[in-house]
Amino acid sequence: MYINFWYPIARATEVTADKPLKVRLLGLPFVAFRDQDGAAHVLADTCVHRGGSLGAGWVRDNCVVCPYHGWRFAGDGKCVLVPSLGAETKPPPRAKVDSYPVQERYGIVFAFLGDLPAEERPPLYDIAEFGTPEWKSHLYVLDLAAYYERSMENGLDPIHNEFVHPLQGAPLLSPELQRTPLPIEDIPWGSKFYMTFGAKRTHDTKLADAKTGERLGAAGSWHQGPNQLVTWIDLTATNSFHQYLFEAPVDENNTRLFFLNMRNWLLDDKHDQRISDVTLQIVHEDIRILENLNPVRTPDTNTREVLVPGDYGAVRYREWLKKWDARGWRIDTKALRAKQGDVAMAIPCPARRESGNWVLETVPLLPGSPAAAAEKRA
Ligand code: FES
Ligand SMILES: [Fe+2]
């Protein structure tokens, strides 16, 4: 799990001005709420007074109010009122919690969980077709009792379709393609494969283009950052499913999936139910596999598994993770686990680069490589 990327926090409709929403990500608690202008805010959940959970409090005057002694925290994380000191007394300067940059897109509230300044932040994936009249989209939010990197690798693995989804019309690879290393290319912050499938499908699918009888045109998957996955299934030149998966690592064993399924055909509402049924069936087939993997986390070296050409998507993904390890962005989960319960910790927010005096301890990070640090400075 990494700091310094965009993470999905909640459905936009779940974040309200009525009640704060407590969520867990990267092994830590966060709180989300809205102010009266409708802007969403995401803060560290731990009140710096004596550890109250802000998410268990309420929203008043554009602030989240701690339920223990009523301290009020504004959207920027600063405490604006300590009731026991009186409204005339300025709260102590250390009375602040981390506040994270927010973007609201695709019906999801995203937060940048890290301290990079705006110009250095890896991007939130831009879905160009979202919201255009040619495309219909549906957002699913699903909980997975598995580690998010395993789920990402599953999305970058075209070989499993034949075995995990034999009945669902997912794209299949011909035997020749299965033996050929995946044609992986790097993209900004990730890697991608996209292939034309000449082979006839081995299973009939209800989703084939009725007019042309064409089955499968091209398909591919790519990742941007450690937790954003794209799969395009372009059945014909005009009939596509585009799937966007934004993964929220809850902790080392659990993931919340924000899964946006988009299509530019079968747009009539009467198709919604069938498409939803098939989509969820596929997702649950994946979930059944992922929740039973051993070990739960991706092994730290590839020698602990026997990898074949069809695994190159996962291999390249792991190489990208190593780059972010080198930058010192990986959370030291063992140290985090050891301290939890004794020390309140938070992901550092960008304001920590501008001011000191923070009460919550920064989440422990694994050391990066000096070379990567030097490269960053250059
Ligand atoms: S612990 Fe939050 S106000 Fe006291
Ligand atoms: Fe799958």
Q: What is the pLDDT of residues 242-282, one digit of tens each?
A: 999 999 999 999 999 999 999 999 999 999 999 999 999 99
Ligand that lies nearest to the alpha carbon of residue 286, given by its number in the listed order: 2
Q: Which residue's alpha carbon is nearest to atom 4 within ligand 1?
A: 69
Domain 136-322: top CATH class: alpha beta
Decide if 41 contacts 260 (C-beta within 8 A).
no
**CATH 2.102.10.10 segments of the chain:** 1-118+332-378
Q: What percent of the chain has pLDDT over 90?
A: 81
pTM over 0.85: yes
Could you tell me the distance, in angstroms and rounded to a whole number, from the CA of residue 286 to the centre of ligand 2?
A: 5
Could you tell me the distance, in angstroms and rounded to a whole number, from the CA of residue 160 to the centre of ligand 2?
A: 7
Q: Which residue's alpha carbon is nearest to atom 3 within ligand 1?
A: 69
**CATH 3.90.380.10 segments of the chain:** 136-322
Could you tell me the distance, in angstroms and rounded to a whole number, from the CA of residue 47 to the centre of ligand 1?
A: 6
Q: pLDDT at residue 42 above 60?
A: yes
Kind of pairing, strands 361-362 and 345-346?
A: parallel
Decide if 93 contacts 357 (C-beta within 8 A).
yes
The DSSP annotation for 74-119 comes to: ETTSBEEE-GGG-TTSPPPTT-B--EE-EEEETTEEEEEES---GG
Q: pLDDT at residue 178 above 90?
A: no
How confident is the model over 172-192, as a mean pLDDT? 86
Domain 1-118+332-378: top CATH class: mainly beta
Q: Tens digit of pLDDT for each residue in 295-307?
A: 999 998 889 999 9
Of ligand 1's listed atoms, the one at least distance from the Cα of 70 is: 3
Q: Mean of the per-residue pLDDT values for the chain?
A: 92
Q: Which of 60-69, 125-134, 163-172, 229-238 shows the lowest mean pLDDT across its residues?
A: 163-172
Write phi, then psi, for 196 (nearest 5 degrees). -85, 135
Q: Which of 7-21, 46-60, 297-311, 318-332 shows the lowest mean pLDDT across its residues?
A: 297-311
Q: Tens digit of pLDDT for each residue in 226-237?
A: 999 999 998 887
